């Protein structure tokens, strides 16, 4: 059972000061004009390691006991959490073993190695990589650092929302990429504590929709997965994160893969940003009008990461430029 609180996020915010970048919060005049809302973007694509995941990893590893640190850490990830753990471990001078699925982008694999972690590629999905990582944790005695079902991880991720709301506390709606659930749970905790009537809405793709169906059925739903540009949102969720989200998240919506690609192109063209599919889903929802009743509202979207293979983004930009 998760017991993370707003106080934990405030403590994480204090601890992470100077260790993470206070990323820009910018207003998008172009997107505001297109959507009819007052749209702001929290640019976690400019965060250390290229995503918000560094926040949770740093906060978690700082909480470990000396004997846990001495044994080293292990995690499973689609890529961004892995880089965050590798980075945090390198600062502590401890060993990190990272398991990623075969689908992890090359840029994320390169980032993991750059921070000195040992990389293992296993399985066709996050779930398969995670199962193998748990097996290795038992065999090696390493401390497993979960990507999202963890109090310290959620508190760390929540600092992204807290930062945004300390700058602009009057958002009406916050759009958050929903993968495992660490970010959306953390942001929702921070947002509801500061402004209880703010609406927090998670975004997934049709290719990986466990939050969408589980949220509506109020139980872990079985869903089908397919390849997705939003690889960081690809995979299952846990009961702990679902139970927490059901208390503090207002809704989950889905966007199409084609709209994610269009949002990646739009961010490159209009804001000169290199954003991965997972980080662009909120923009996709705004461009397509997926979220109802936003006219005249002040809207925040978390642009959560930049770790996309350059060749993939170049292909998307080329395809849309020709239209």
Residues with catalytic roles: 53, 304
CB–CB of 223/210 below 8 Å? Answer: yes
Would residue 181 be called left, alpha or beta, if left means φ above 0 and alpha means ψ between -120 and 50 degrees? left
How far, in Å, CA of 39 to CA of 32, rounded? 5
DSSP 202-250: EEEETTB-HHHHHHHHTS---------S-GGG-S---HHHHHHHHHH--
Tokens of 190: 């921070």
Tokens of 301: 């979207």
How far, in Å, CA of 292 to CA of 212, rounded? 16
CB–CB of 74/101 below 8 Å? Answer: no
Instruction: Please report, for the chain, how many H helices and E strands are present, in that order.
Output: 14, 10
How far, in Å, CA of 170 to CA of 293, rounded? 17
Q: Report the 10 Å Cβ neighbour count for 3.
A: 9
DSSP 254-312: EE-HHHHHHHHHHHHHHH-----GGGGHHHHHHHHT-SSS-TT-EEEEEE-B----HHH
- CA of 317: how far to CAs of 102, 168, 271, 308, 310, in Å? 25, 32, 13, 13, 10
Diameter over CA atoms, the chain = 58
Q: In the block, which residue shows the tokens 């949220």?
A: 215
């Amino acid at each position: 059972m998760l017991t993370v609180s707003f106080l934990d996020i405030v403590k994480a915010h204090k601890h992470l000061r100077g260790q993470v970048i206070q990323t820009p919060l910018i207003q998008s005049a172009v997107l505001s004009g297109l959507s009819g809302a007052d749209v702001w973007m929290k640019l976690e694509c400019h965060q250390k390691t290229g995503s918000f995941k560094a926040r949770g990893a740093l906060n978690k590893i700082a909480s470990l006991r000396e004997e846990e640190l001495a044994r080293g850490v292990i995690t499973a990830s689609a890529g961004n959490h892995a880089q965050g753990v590798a980075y945090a471990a390198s600062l502590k001078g401890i060993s990190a073993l990272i398991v990623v699925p075969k689908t992890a982008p090359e840029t994320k694999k390169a980032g993991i190695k750059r921070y000195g972690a040992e990389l293992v590629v296993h399985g066709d999905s996050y779930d398969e990589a995670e199962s193998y990582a748990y097996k290795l944790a038992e065999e090696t005695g390493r401390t497993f650092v979960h990507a999202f079902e963890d109090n310290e991880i959620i508190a760390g991720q929540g600092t992204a929302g807290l930062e945004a709301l300390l700058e602009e506390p009057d958002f009406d709606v916050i759009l958050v990429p929903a993968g495992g659930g660490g970010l959306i749970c953390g942001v929702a905790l921070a947002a509801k504590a500061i402004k209880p009537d703010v609406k927090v809405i998670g975004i997934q793709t049709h290719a990986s929709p466990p939050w969408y169906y589980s949220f509506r059925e109020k139980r872990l739903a079985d869903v089908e997965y397919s390849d997705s540009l939003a690889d960081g949102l690809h995979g299952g969720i846990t009961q702990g994160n679902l139970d927490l989200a059901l208390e503090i998240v207002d809704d989950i919506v889905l966007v199409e893969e084609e709209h994610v690609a269009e949002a990646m192109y739009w961010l490159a063209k209009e804001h000169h940003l290199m954003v991965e599919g997972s980080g662009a889903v909120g923009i996709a929802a705004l461009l397509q009008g997926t979220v109802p009743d936003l006219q005249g509202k002040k809207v925040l979207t978390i642009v959560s990461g930049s770790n996309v293979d350059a060749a993939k983004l170049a292909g998307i930009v080329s395809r849309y430029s020709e239209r």
